[in-house]
Structure 1
Amino acid sequence: MSDWKNAYRSFYYDSAEEPEDIVLPAPETALLVIDIQNTYLEPKGEPMEDIRWAPFRDRMNGTVIPNTARLIADCRKRGVEVIFARIACLTENGRDRSLSQKKPGFNYLLLPKDREDSQIVPKLAPEGDEVVVLKTTDSALTGTNLRMILHNMGIRNVIVAGIFTDQCISSTVRSLADESFNTVVVDDCCAAATDELHRNELMSINMIYCHVVQMEDVIGFLDAGR
């Protein structure tokens, strides 16, 4: 297991006591996979942009997607709820989107819910009756009925994986913390556009809104919850 108790400490928590061991009982735990959708793995259509985004795609294909697939499989075997959130609008022209998704630039997202580029990548596809919530906001709690779903299922602990660390992951984790869910963010199942953005955001949210851990740590926490 990693030294998660001392890693990713910001200025605020540099001298704080080590957190207690984490135990994740399967009946009270959900894995939430956020926004790992086809659109983010597609070519950018412009050579310089493709080069700029190459490190992100490498991390997604080489680390995030394989690790998340393994984590999903392990959670399914243990009876941990696997839940997905994806950015998708209900209308074809996106008039139901939040303001942040209508602004020009990277955050401009027009992803009608039935279009192929809005779907979850095939390697992580939901199975059976696993819950998928659609959102037009960064936070998966703010823009959906996920809060109610988690409460109705008796969930107290949420394992978070997905993209982008400094946007939808961070917004969702902060919302989960405000709702008093115990939350762990899986470093090697997440990515931001750059490694610097990824690491800086993990330092910002660690120990106050969540605990930042590695995938192998999560397996140990689930083992301890048996």
Structure 2
Amino acid sequence: MENTSTLYYQFLPTDGKKINVNPDKTALLIVDMQHQFISRDGLDAQVAREKGMFDQWEYFFNRIDNLTIPNNKKLLDFFRTNKLEVTFGRIACHHKDGRDRSPVQRRPGWNNILLPIGDPGAEMVDELKPLDDEIVVNKTTDSVLSGTNYEFLLRNMGIETVVCTGVVTDQCVASTVRSLADAGFEVILVEDACAAATQQLHDAEIMIMNQIYCQVMSTDEVIDLVTEELSKTKLVNV
């Protein structure tokens, strides 16, 4: 039987044309870059060590330390320096017993996440700590949009394009990208500022989402694109 699993990807545009962005209507969204999930001393890493499984996560934490955090920091510094909108989405429930969580975050196993607001594990890692007036959306779902007022906030600010980064590529990041696209936003997914448990999972999700739900770009490509647009109207700070 002919394998048609990727047949419709043959019809994606191949002209290499970049997405058009208006910097004043563009927001950076950093998803779930929290101590619990991405710190080597976070709870997830501790549990993996206790179960003798940490070696299986070495790829993930190496990518986080050597690529994902540095590129998020690079984007964050660029957006802040040029006074562009910076936002964060994080997993954090209101009740300490987690009864306000969505079913997907209550299920046993990987998604059994209990992170109340105020728990140190719910905070963004120090390199990516939000400033006082930057928007931080607390979510009990995978998508930053589902069950939050994030879309409403973006509409209030006149945002049309969202530059999305974070973890993990094939779960919360992917859900957020799809929700943003369905809501009518242009989405740029920054490939080297995201991470999944394995390279295979990351690459597969990137392939699925690219050109359909978003445009996949690198950190440097995003900075170059926004810099080009900024240079048309005002001075650029890199």
Name the TM-score, length of structure 2 as normaliser. Answer: 0.88
C-alpha distance in structure 2 between counterparts of 1:29 and 1:11, whole Å: 33
For residue 25 of structure 1, what is the aligned residue in structure 2? 22
Work out whether residues 30 and 80 of structure 1, in 8 Å CA contact, stay in contact via their aligned partners in 2.
yes
In the alignment, which of 193, 203, 206 is matched to residue 199 of structure 1?
A: 203
C-alpha distance in structure 2 between counterparts of 1:71 and 1:166, whole Å: 21
C-alpha distance in structure 1 between counterparts of 2:152 and 2:11, whole Å: 36
Gaps of 5+ in 2: 1-5, 231-238
Q: Does 1:185 align with 2:189?
A: yes
> Secondary structure in 1 aligned to 2:52?
helix
Deviation, structure 1 residue 81: 0.5
List structure 1 segments (4+ residues) > 6 angstroms apart after TM superposition.
none
Of stretches 182-191 and 11-20 in structure 1, the one that deviates more from structure 2 is 11-20
Deviation, structure 1 residue 194: 0.7
> Secondary structure in 2 aligned to 1:45?
helix
Distance 1:87 1:172, change over 3 A: same
> Secondary structure in 1 aligned to 2:93?
coil
Work out whether residues 32 and 91 of structure 2, in 8 Å CA contact, stay in contact via their aligned partners in 1.
yes
C-alpha distance in structure 1 between counterparts of 2:153 and 2:99, whole Å: 26
Q: What does the per-residue CA deviation read over 1:62-103, in whole Å, with 9 as the maximum and x for residues that have no partner?
A: 100011001000011122101000000101100000000100
C-alpha distance in structure 2 between counterparts of 1:89 and 1:82, whole Å: 22
Deviation, structure 1 residue 128: 2.8
Work out whether residues 26 and 79 of structure 1, in 8 Å CA contact, stay in contact via their aligned partners in 2.
no
For residue 92 of structure 1, what is the aligned residue in structure 2? 96
C-alpha distance in structure 2 between counterparts of 1:99 and 1:193, whole Å: 22
For residue 215 of structure 1, what is the aligned residue in structure 2? 219
Name the TM-score, length of structure 1 as normaliser. Answer: 0.92
Q: Does 1:39 align with 2:7?
A: no
> Secondary structure in 2 aligned to 1:14?
helix
C-alpha distance in structure 2 between counterparts of 1:118 and 1:128, whole Å: 16
Q: Does 1:150 align with 2:146?
A: no
Q: Does 1:14 align with 2:10?
A: yes
Q: Percent identity?
A: 42
Deviation, structure 1 residue 26: 1.7
Work out whether residues 12 and 211 of structure 2, in 8 Å CA contact, stay in contact via their aligned partners in 1.
no
> Secondary structure in 2 aligned to 1:33?
strand
Q: Does 1:133 align with 2:144?
A: no
For residue 67 of structure 1, what is the aligned residue in structure 2? 71
C-alpha distance in structure 1 between counterparts of 2:51 and 2:96, whole Å: 29
Work out whether residues 86 and 134 of structure 1, in 8 Å CA contact, stay in contact via their aligned partners in 2.
yes
Deviation, structure 1 residue 132: 0.1
For 1:32, the aligned partner's letter is L
> Secondary structure in 1 aligned to 2:144?
coil
> Secondary structure in 1 aligned to 2:188?
strand
For 2:137, the aligned partner's letter is V
How many positions carry a matched residue from both structures?
Answer: 217
For residue 51 of structure 1, what is the aligned residue in structure 2? 55
In the alignment, which of 159, 179, 188 is matched to residue 163 of structure 2?
A: 159
C-alpha distance in structure 1 between counterparts of 2:224 and 2:7, whole Å: 28
C-alpha distance in structure 2 between counterparts of 1:117 and 1:50, whole Å: 18
C-alpha distance in structure 2 between counterparts of 1:92 and 1:214, whole Å: 38
For 2:74, the aligned partner's letter is R
Q: Which has the higher contact order (CA 8 A, sep 6+)?
A: 1
Q: What does the per-residue CA deviation read over 1:181-212, in whole Å, with 9 as the maximum and x for residues that have no partner?
A: 00010000000111100000011111110011
C-alpha distance in structure 1 between counterparts of 2:60 and 2:7, whole Å: 27
For residue 5 of structure 1, what is the aligned residue in structure 2? none
In the alignment, which of 102, 112, 118 is matched to residue 116 of structure 2?
A: 112
